[in-house]
Amino acid sequence: MSLSVVEAKLEAESKAFQQLQKDLTKAIESRQRLDSQQQENEQVRKEFDLLKSDANIYKLIGPVMVKQEKSEASSNVKNRLDLIASEIKRVEGQLNDLTEKSEKKKSQIAQLQMEYQQLRSAQQ
């Protein structure tokens, strides 16, 4: 392979690696957001457990507070927690996939850098 071909491949692989890093950062941010939402909803669930069955619960819908049954509110929180848990699983899979791809890309870049150095040495 010629020096210019290796150089072009190295540049392309570096750009692909940078994109993978951006995607990885986005996935990490998404995972952190989901953790935060999960903690908030867990706290709400714990608070509901402390309430008496006849306690008044209100839900903010737009600018209006609407009365809601405790069972309905608890069910909504449980469903939200289930949804968040499944989304966390999905994002975890995405993180694992991106990390694996990133490691492969890193080794490809290292290999290309070695080839590049060898070709440069041979030309001098």
Place of tokens 């899979």: 93
* Confidence tier at 122 by pLDDT (50, 70, 90): confident
- Predicted confidence at residue 1, as pLDDT, reads 73
Is the distance from CB of 94 to CB of 27 less than 8 angstroms?
yes
> In angstroms, rounded to a whole number, what is the distance separating the alpha carbons of residues 2 and 5?
5
Average pLDDT for the chain:
94
Average pLDDT over residues 99-106: 97
- Predicted confidence at residue 124, as pLDDT, reads 73
Average pLDDT over residues 87-100: 97
pTM comes to 0.81
How many Cβ atoms sit within 10 Å of the Cβ of residue 89? 11
- Predicted confidence at residue 20, as pLDDT, reads 97
pLDDT for 63-82, tens place per residue? 999 999 999 999 999 999 99
Q: Could you tell me the domains of the chain? A: 3-123 (1.10.287.370)
- Predicted confidence at residue 53, as pLDDT, reads 84
Is the distance from CB of 95 to CB of 28 less than 8 angstroms?
yes
Find all residues with CB under 8 Å of 101, minimum gap 6, and list them.
20
